[in-house]
Structure 1
Amino acid sequence: MDDQTSGPAARESGARDSRRSRRHAGPADSGFMTRRRVVAISAASLSVLAIAGAAGLWAAYNRLNHNIKTVDIHTESGTGGAVGGNTVPAAARDAMNVLLIGSDSRDGANGQYGDRNSGARSDTTMLLHVAADRKSATVASIPRDTMVQLPGCAQPDGTESKPQSAMFNAAYSIGGAACTVKTVESISGLTIDHVLVVDFTGFKDLVDAMGGVPVTLDKPVNDPDSHLNLPAGTTVVNGEQALAFVRARHNLGDGSDIGRMSRQQQFLNAALDTLSSNGTLDDPKKLYKVLDAATKALTTDPGLGSLNKLADFATDLKQVPRQNITYLTVPWQWYQPDPNRVQLASKAQELFDAMRTDTAVPADVLALSAKQGEQTAS
């Protein structure tokens, strides 16, 4: 029997139907093609965004890294872990001693705060000891007017200064952070592991980037010398006000350098509280702003001279419970030849020995520091 659906005529009819089917594809077929195109475009877009995001993060990291300035402190101190024969106990070798220096340099934008030709000294110096187990820390302020024996230091012109009796803050003007480190090591028997230096402008910019820091006063202050004008109670101060607050001598305390130091420590503590509580650490935009200001403000030793190293340092500090940070002033006594100067008291060595051996600050040292603070607070 012949099959009427086969043959040339049937094949031609089938071909026409096939062409018609391709020309008039239904909605389901066109939707499938559209979805494939959307998925392909979306995947390509996400890839581009991921690459752009990674490139942006890398660029931001490089910018922050590039901001950091370093100074070599170990070519000047050269202690190699022991000073004056005072070796560090094995249990204390993971402890850290860090020198925090506020420079009164008048270079560049800092010129508005004094004579541009007056050089730079250490306006504020704090010795930070972080315990090996990271469960406690001590912050000890060194009075800038302390009379000490300065060691010979390398000077900017390549010459060596002669050892001399002078105020502690003169070390910075002679040989910068390296000479200050060498002086602290000389008078304390400690090894300084790291240094962080910030100048006036850097300090202001950092406070502004944080959104201000709260300070509390028992009574209002209006100091024309520092241009500090604040009411009694708590005020969130901006960078300019904060700088005046930590530098003011008149109308706050007894007008001495000793009197300022407890105020500087209070401000440091308030700044740490602010960073922990104002959401900066959880907000990438705020955090970048603070990191940008901080890295521009700081000069560090090479051991902290990168974003990764600073992050590791910050992680170490973050482990220390806030209530276990002890603030005090290195014990001092009046310098008899000049009543406007002080010198280290015998109790100072007890403090330095406690840091060297990574043990608790003796109670009598804490008591003396508190008593001396009370004498200069009013």
Structure 2
Amino acid sequence: MADGRMPGGVPGARAGVIRHGRQRTSRAWATVLAVLASAVAVVLVSGVSVAAIAAWDLSRSVQPLIVLPPADTDHPDAPPPQIGAYEGGINLLLIGSDSRQGQGTAFGDPEEETGELNDVNILLHISADHSNATVVSFPRDLFVDIPECTNADGDSTGPATDKINTALFYGGVPCAVATIEDLTGLTIPFVAEVQFLGVIAMSNAVGGVPVCVSDRIEDEYTGTYLDPGMHDLSGVDALQFLRTRHGVGDGSDLSRIGNQQVFLSSLVRTVKSSETLGDPFKLYGLAKAALDNMRFSESLANLDTMVSIAIALKDIPEQNIAFVQYPGSVTVEGVYQNEESAAVLFDAIAADQPVLPTGSTGLGSTLGLGGPDEVPVDPAAPVDPAAPVDPAAPVDPAAPVDPAAPPADAGAPVAALPDDVLGQTADEVTCSNGRTLEEQ
């Protein structure tokens, strides 16, 4: 595993593909940023009568703001001049803090291990033409270079080489942002921070998220016990599913990330479904749950800006939304970067290319019940003319050509990622690869 690749026979492996693996004490938060922004947008731009009330009420819900230092960026802090019209791509960082202050005792002793750690770091990139999005999860034990930062006491800290989840300790959210900017080479003007209760409220707002379990999950640390099959998860059950690591894959943080992507891809499909998009009250509830339970950077705490980002997201096809993990090699000390593979990933993101994970879904998940590999295609089924075309799909020379059809827009070429950049697309129905107490 010196090169960070999984051995053969990894559950969920596609032909010639690979994905995620490991972690520590079970805490992890929802990575629902794209969906939340989309919910805010649909509520605020819909023609239903609840929209005006939602805009007023949501504006009162915004939590205290995160102040970031001025940055040399093409993204202005002010609302965009035209909603939905952005110059260049959009980069937004979601941080999950391990603090349990104000979260009650349901998630463990609030006096225990409540240091300032950014245990979840998820970067959302939307391409400039709004045709694709990439969601990158960073393993919490990933060793990175932390730049010089300023802590809450005004003292200078760093630079240092440390695990990425310590950046919050070195200098709060601005330090976490600076660390990931240095790591990826991207400018990140938008930031949101979420804790335990936010996950519960948001999963409740959509009426639960259906997840597939391929093998029984047993985790006595989070109290997660799920049999194989489909489960609708909401509330504390959804949170604990996202937090579990002992009960999936090899019990590592990387396995937990793969398991989280099972939930996230299903959440995207749930929110983009007619049952959610057609229910303004459900959308409003989702948006309000986000704003009630998240802190935003000053650049993001503006309803026009949220709507603008959401509009850029809401029409992206599910197959063009990729969930990937920052590539790394697991050791007993932590996770070390696979820099060459990471460079391929972030070069593609910087170029606004759609990315295609070519590895497996990793140890935490597997292609399973209802997955794309198991759904036969009916050749007699009518073709949706609005459906995006897979540029890698073979062309039938005998197929009739519509002379009135506009020429196809090839768009940016799809970037095939190295096998150790693990992940999946939102349209892939994957299942959690559970493990029992006897296997732990």
Q: The TM-score by the shorter chain falls in which range?
A: 0.7 to 0.9
Q: Give the 3-state SS of the residue equivalent to 2:248 in structure 1.
A: coil
Deviates more, 1:164-173 or 1:55-64: 55-64
Q: Give the 3-state SS of the residue equivalent to 2:210 in structure 1.
A: strand
2:358 paired with 1:365: no
Name the counterpart of 1:223: 219
Judging changes above 3 Å, is the alpha-carbon distance between structure 1 residues 235 and 55 closer, same or farther for their aligned structure 2 residues?
A: closer
2:73 aligns with one of 80, 84, 100? 80
1:101 aligns with one of 95, 100, 121? 95
Judging changes above 3 Å, is the alpha-carbon distance between structure 1 residues 116 and 156 closer, same or farther for their aligned structure 2 residues?
A: farther
Distance 2:105 2:55 in 1: 30
Matched residues, number: 310
Name the counterpart of 2:183: 187
2:298 paired with 1:305: no
Q: Give the 3-state SS of the residue equivalent to 2:145 in structure 1.
A: strand
Deviates more, 1:254-263 or 1:99-108: 99-108
Contact 1:110–1:201 (8 Å) recurs in 2: no
Contact 1:148–1:165 (8 Å) recurs in 2: yes
Name the counterpart of 1:321: 317
Contact 2:93–2:121 (8 Å) recurs in 1: yes
Q: Give the 3-state SS of the residue equivalent to 2:149 in structure 1.
A: coil
Name the counterpart of 1:274: 270
Q: Give the 3-state SS of the residue equivalent to 1:139 in structure 2.
A: strand
Distance 1:327 1:180 in 2: 21
- 1:105 Cα deviation after fit: 1.7
Distance 1:193 1:237 in 2: 32
1:290 aligns with one of 286, 291, 301? 286
Distance 2:243 2:131 in 1: 31
2:189 paired with 1:137: no
Distance 2:62 2:160 in 1: 33
Alignment of 1:342-353 (within 5 A): 342-346=335-339, 347-353=341-347
- 1:167 Cα deviation after fit: 0.7
- 1:133 Cα deviation after fit: 0.7
Q: Give the 3-state SS of the residue equivalent to 1:108 in structure 2.
A: coil
Name the counterpart of 1:153: 149
Deviates more, 1:168-177 or 1:126-135: 168-177
* CA deviation string 1:53-112 (max 9, x = no partner): x9986554322112112534531x734359xxxxxxxxx951111112222221102553
* CA deviation string 1:255-298 (max 9, x = no partner): 11111111212211111211222623322332322222121122
Contact 2:134–2:323 (8 Å) recurs in 1: yes
- 1:310 Cα deviation after fit: 1.5
Which runs of no fewer than 5 residues in structure 1 stay unpaired? 1-53, 83-91
- 1:151 Cα deviation after fit: 1.1
Name the counterpart of 1:69: 63
Deviates more, 1:301-310 or 1:204-213: 301-310
TM-score in terms of structure 2 length: 0.64
Distance 1:240 1:234 in 2: 17
Judging changes above 3 Å, is the alpha-carbon distance between structure 1 residues 318 and 60 closer, same or farther for their aligned structure 2 residues?
A: closer
Distance 1:271 1:133 in 2: 24
Judging changes above 3 Å, is the alpha-carbon distance between structure 1 residues 252 and 179 closer, same or farther for their aligned structure 2 residues?
A: same
- What amino acid maps onto 1:249 in structure 2? R
Q: Give the 3-state SS of the residue equivalent to 1:126 in structure 2.
A: strand
Contact 1:254–1:377 (8 Å) recurs in 2: no
Contact 2:50–2:280 (8 Å) recurs in 1: no
Judging changes above 3 Å, is the alpha-carbon distance between structure 1 residues 73 and 95 closer, same or farther for their aligned structure 2 residues?
A: farther
- 1:240 Cα deviation after fit: 0.7
Contact 2:259–2:433 (8 Å) recurs in 1: no
Contact 1:102–1:197 (8 Å) recurs in 2: yes
Distance 1:370 1:174 in 2: 29
TM-score in terms of structure 1 length: 0.74
2:204 paired with 1:211: no
* CA deviation string 1:208-259 (max 9, x = no partner): 1211111110122231111112221000011211111111011211111111
Contact 1:331–1:365 (8 Å) recurs in 2: no
Distance 1:80 1:111 in 2: 41
* CA deviation string 1:314-350 (max 9, x = no partner): 1111121111112211111235xxx240121122122
- 1:171 Cα deviation after fit: 0.7
Which runs of no fewer than 5 residues in structure 2 stay unpaired? 1-47, 76-85, 356-413, 424-431, 435-440
Judging changes above 3 Å, is the alpha-carbon distance between structure 1 residues 245 and 366 closer, same or farther for their aligned structure 2 residues?
A: farther
Distance 1:277 1:349 in 2: 34
Q: Give the 3-state SS of the residue equivalent to 1:148 in structure 2.
A: strand
Distance 2:264 2:50 in 1: 33
Q: Give the 3-state SS of the residue equivalent to 1:304 in structure 2.
A: coil
Distance 1:138 1:126 in 2: 10
Contact 2:94–2:191 (8 Å) recurs in 1: yes
Judging changes above 3 Å, is the alpha-carbon distance between structure 1 residues 157 and 216 closer, same or farther for their aligned structure 2 residues?
A: same
Deviates more, 1:225-234 or 1:346-355: 346-355
Work out which structure has the larger RCO, using CA pairs closer than 8 Å and 6 or more positions apart in sequence. 2
Name the counterpart of 1:114: 108
| Higher helix fraction (1 or 2) | 1
- What amino acid maps onto 2:174 in structure 1? A
Name the counterpart of 1:24: none
2:220 paired with 1:168: no
Name the counterpart of 1:355: 349
Distance 2:433 2:224 in 1: 18
Q: Give the 3-state SS of the residue equivalent to 1:175 in structure 2.
A: helix
After superposition, the CA RMSD in angstroms is 2.9
